[in-house]
Structure 1
């Protein structure tokens, strides 16, 4: 891609990503519609009652908006009951969920969404495109967790629903919370204003010891086992380069003001390779190549007993940058002189602040947030990274976006079978670079 096209891509990114301005690009545009029931109470439905869904519900209830949670939905009754108990302990006055408004099963979202003005979408990521599509169809404002899809057809579905959400003036916030963190906003604003010149390279990381494992129980069907252990199956999670590392990849895109034109890299199952770890890799290292020729190096791994690192660094023609979720944003010139250091005191919790801003806009009847496009494209960046490591091939953005490989099961039911199944030893098939075909 030549410099003209690179400039056009950057302008389109800046135009369409309301995140870059913290929603200000759409500020003040009124939306049409009253709250369900015709009063000033904002009714919220929580779709997905696990740890993240419950946490998001607490964040919503901690805002100054007049909120009531009126419906809970989850595939599993025990997760729903656990969330209800936790919410009732702290916010009984804001919890209006009768037994009739507790919905369980694969179709639970369809029953909960009509009761609300705002839906919190926090199920396993594989379900996100369908749930988002339905929420937009029914005219609801949305907070949805990242990533927003696990495969390319899911990304396309989110992009189509995002277009409709903008037409309907529905606020949509995606849980890429660094966009609502003051240090990132201030640091990246200075980068985009030219403080360190043009960004020519960078490194982004999510290296940790990994997450939970839930052993198989004898009474579980294969569908329930995979649903309970969703992190280890791509139709539910997308691999950790998509589910976790999307945060850091998104920062690379934000700093560059565009999305990669191609991605290549390597990965494997070096440590977490037993039957408890499904089909995903435990390490990925990829290069994101942008239209101007710059390359951002991206690394994520789940190795126990090794150094952890979750942050981002960038090098520009006039300086360098360090960013991290710990409220660090430091810019230096080429001689090492500090250009900017974000003060740590007074930083708002970004997980909380994204809800504060969303519900403040809804309370005021303003249309301010259209995060779904960027959420979809940064998710797609992670998906292409997975395709590159699984195949060992260079994957071009435009080629990947045409993919019709759908990871979702043909049928969603407890007695249905997912597309990836274990062998007689309980081991799941996994990608082999050089052999696995991904497009």
Structure 2
């Protein structure tokens, strides 16, 4: 693939106005209905039922299905797919309770409940809209299959766990444009009023050019699922997926991508390099797989802006999930969902009141289904893929201790995914005789080649 063809190399500095135009998920100004393929525009302005398939029935997938089914009338869940039958059943039971007074919204007979690594293929065939919420390592294959089958897509972030996956996502995203298919990515800050109001004011020059910033996802951490006696290695890693890089990408990608994405969005560029440090100090048990419990990265952008990025999973430490930026004329504070802009002399330029704002998780589905109905066109794939790559650059930097450049990261041939999927197959990483997994070591671990 040449640099020209892949669409992500070369110039990754664009004007802020163009960046906002392409990355904003407002449904206005999309393709004309007359230019859409028959399948993509079949529901525009109509009352036909949109059939939904859920691929990945964990907590986030169940939540996304609930939000999709809450977009109004004329939506119906018709198929479900997961690697594990118990997860699928739990999800179905939860949704059944939520929509107890609207039973017509769930029409998933037994023969439309699919289990296993290839279950997504069957579910996709039955739907008009596909929700992709499995562990992110599987996202590239699932997204490609959905677009090839002419389906609209909602997919959770991050969009891949390695560079080959990012490239596959980008190619499928181009195909979605060609087919007029709508794609929404679960970077919900793009659908949150406070962030939309702030980006409008940045674009109008309220704080000048952003020259620096600090972005955070510091918390106690997330769930851990201990190994059970009956599990083989593949099942254990699939159940405990958050702690294996091939499945999760590490928490700098799985969670902190939200804040990194905001930096890209507000600056209007993608970083040209990253360098940082990280490791495991608290979360060191065998059930914690191989990922780090803290990362610190400096991202340098073509304009010269530098973003200090930190994420941490360590109990009893400072918790903070927010973004702060400094511009040539003022500052930005997004903490508490407020969106506060101030001039350097202390004058408050804007202070967003989020009390009556819609839920951004619901808003992204509302806009997706409205776009399908109205013949508009949303495609979040490009900024979702590029923010995924940015977070991947950060992980590469902390794992290796090296300076990682954008083009090198993008073009890395290093794949983390197994060659074959199956319960009896060997995962890409396995424990040693002491039950410990290989953990990246800065100065020794290779992340590009």
TM-score, L = length of structure 1: 0.95
Contact 2:271 2:302 in 1 (8 A): yes
Distance 1:126 1:143 in 2: 16
Contact 1:47 1:53 in 2 (8 A): yes
State yes or no: 1:32 paired with 2:37: yes
Distance 2:360 2:23 in 1: 13
Change (3 A) 1:311 1:12: closer
Deviation at 1:209, TM superposition (A): 0.3
Deviation at 1:20, TM superposition (A): 2.4
The residue aligned with 1:208 is 219
Distance 2:268 2:65 in 1: 31
The residue aligned with 1:97 is 108
Q: Deviations over 1:144-179 (max 9, x none)?
A: 000010000000000000000000000000000000
Distance 2:171 2:12 in 1: 22
Contact 2:23 2:380 in 1 (8 A): yes
Q: Deviations over 1:390-430 (max 9, x none)?
A: 00000000111110110011210001011111011111011
The residue aligned with 1:58 is 66
State yes or no: 1:133 paired with 2:144: yes
State yes or no: 1:335 paired with 2:345: yes
Deviation at 1:25, TM superposition (A): 4.5
Distance 1:223 1:81 in 2: 21
Distance 1:143 1:46 in 2: 10
Deviation at 1:10, TM superposition (A): 1.5
State yes or no: 1:373 paired with 2:382: yes
Q: How does 1:28-427 map to 2 (within 5 A)?
A: 29=33, 31-34=36-39, 40-91=48-99, 92-324=103-335, 326-364=336-374, 366-427=375-436
Deviation at 1:258, TM superposition (A): 1.1
Deviation at 1:18, TM superposition (A): 3.4
Change (3 A) 1:8 1:120: closer
Q: CA RMSD in A?
A: 1.8
Q: Which moved more, 1:5-14 or 1:53-62?
A: 5-14
Distance 1:381 1:9 in 2: 14
Structure 1 stretches lacking a partner, 5+ long: none
Contact 1:170 1:367 in 2 (8 A): no
Change (3 A) 1:82 1:69: same
Distance 2:201 2:378 in 1: 22
Distance 1:168 1:322 in 2: 39
Query: SS at the partner of 1:235?
Result: helix
Q: How many residues align?
A: 432
Change (3 A) 1:178 1:385: same
Contact 1:197 1:319 in 2 (8 A): yes
Structure 2 stretches lacking a partner, 5+ long: 1-8
TM-score, L = length of structure 2: 0.93
Distance 1:105 1:425 in 2: 30
Query: SS at the partner of 1:24?
Result: coil
